[in-house]
Amino acid sequence: MSDLFNRITDDQDIFRKLFSKIPGFSGYVERENRRAADKILREAIADRFEEMWQRISSIQTDLISSGGLEFIDDIERAAIKIRQFIDRIRHASYGYSPFFNATKINEEELSKVYEFDLALLENGDGVARAIDNIESSIGTDGLPAAIRHLTTLSQQTIDVYNRRSEMMMGGIDSAENN
């Protein structure tokens, strides 16, 4: 996320750079940059999971066409969890948390946010692999286990996002206690 933050900072126009020299205004610019970087990251993650959700929808269609109706409810549970995650991350409040109101961010808190963001991206890799596994398991005895694994990973992704949200809204202590 620091590359994203740097890109936003580097792309500032001359007026923002000028205003950043005015006492008190630089804190405002930094807060806005953090908000913008967070929004861009959340949109990128949501887009990535949207592609995975579409793959699951395609698998559901294939299962229906090939007579695999007994698996539809199970894979739908995973699809619903992924859709729930996408909707939550895409439509989260933009920059209204106490985390973004601080003029200066505690490095420990910022590091914790980056850890959550990395975990979300890594969970995305795991979900993509689980979908690959489902596709290769169609027509085999391994399909139910592959679907259960996807459902578990989908719930874990929601759980990570929930902990990130709690930390952003109430500080690092509330997320660590969960």
Residue with more model confidence, 94 or 18? 18
- Angstrom CA distances, 14 to 4, 10, 11, 140, 175, stand at 19, 10, 9, 61, 38
| Between 171 and 22, residue with greater pLDDT | 22
Identity of the amino acid at 36:
A
Could you read off the pLDDT of 106-131 as tens digits, one per residue? 667 777 888 888 999 999 999 999 99
Residue bearing the bigger pLDDT, 178 or 145? 145
Q: How confident is the model at residue 174 (pLDDT cuts 50, 70, 90)?
A: very low
Cα 152 from Cα 144, distance rounded (Å): 12
Rounded CA gap, 121 and 42, in Å? 10
Q: Please report, for the chain, the start and end positions of each structural domain, with discontinuous segments joined by +.
A: 44-176
pLDDT-derived band at 38 (thresholds 50, 70, 90) equals confident
Contacts of residue 35, defined as CB under 8 A and 6 or more positions apart, other chains included, come to 94, 95, 100
CA-wise closest residue to 106 among 37, 167, 162, 51: 167
pLDDT more than 90, % of the chain: 50
pLDDT for 111 equals 79
Res. 166 pLDDT band, cuts 50 70 90:
confident
Burial category of 10 from C-beta neighbours within 10 Å (exposed 0-12, middle 13-18, buried 19 and up)? exposed
CA separation for the pair 60, 39 (Å, rounded) = 31
Q: Give per-residue pLDDT as tens, 143-165.
A: 999 999 999 999 999 999 999 88
pTM: 0.76
More confident residue, 25 or 72: 72
